[in-house]
Amino acid sequence: MSVSDTRPVWFITGCSTGFGREFALQCLERGLRVVATARRLSNLDGLDAPSERLLKIELDVTDPSAITDAIARTREAFGRIDVLVNNAGYGYLTSAEEGEEAEIRAMFDANVFGLFAMTRAVLPLMRAQRSGTVVNISSIAGLVARAASSYYGASKYAVEGFTSGLHAEVAHLGIRAMAVEPGPFRTDWAGRSLRTTEVGIEDYRQSVGARLSGTAEISGRQQGDPVRAVTAIIEAASSDNPPLHLVLGAYAVDATRERWMQSIKELDTWEAVGRATDFPD
């Protein structure tokens, strides 16, 4: 480890494909130091740079001992972590009624509890540094959950709540937290990475079934460009004042604005009822 090397260190989970892979590539192109992780080391083939700039680690974020080892190896190699990108995770779509317990729990282990564990492991370094940024890759489903996304959306709503709470706890320590809410992007999310339980109940074919069919049809043709998305995230995370929420893609921006406007309208409609529940003065 060179103590004189001041290039920021980015620790990125889920670098096999999609956003994670693009994060590693762009960070290396920018001259940053990168810790690239994946569940299988062979999935990191093709990521090449001198050892003083790239550390490749086999990491399953649902394995606490593997997280501890990865952080220890990073400290030994680079001495610090400036940006943690919690990218590892995947989607599971089905109806709420037909959700399979094992599938739901496995997804939450990766999307939620793995993200929590990674953040807990990195925070001591960032506190000691009095600096750092935690970037949590959420989803538009964490702001606007649609049919078939009840469980996936719930996992991302958990990420949203965690990020907001984390921001309130660590901002005074020089640590920033940012949640990223991408809409449909041209990655493997809707393809081979997506897990589903098909609709078996006729009553859900119009809502959940239609969403599953639409998701399959759009796979590989989504409007969002992963390269531009990752560039935007890196620039936002590297700025002096990163946003708490970074909504990416025209679909996600429009859907978020529409939902927030609906929420304001609903709040206004029911405001008197809500205020009347306090003890009288």
Give the residue numbers annotated as catalytic, written as ranges: 138, 152, 156
CA 281 to chain centre: 44
Place of tokens 């220890």: 72
User: What phi and psi values does residue 118 have, to the nearest 5 degrees?
Assistant: -60, -45
| AA letter at 255 | A
* Helices 18-29/226-237 angle, 10° precision: 60
Question: How many residues does the structure list for the chain?
Answer: 281
Residues 6+ apart with CB under 8 A from 50: none
CA distances from 240 to 135, 175, 230, 233, 243 (A): 14, 11, 18, 13, 10
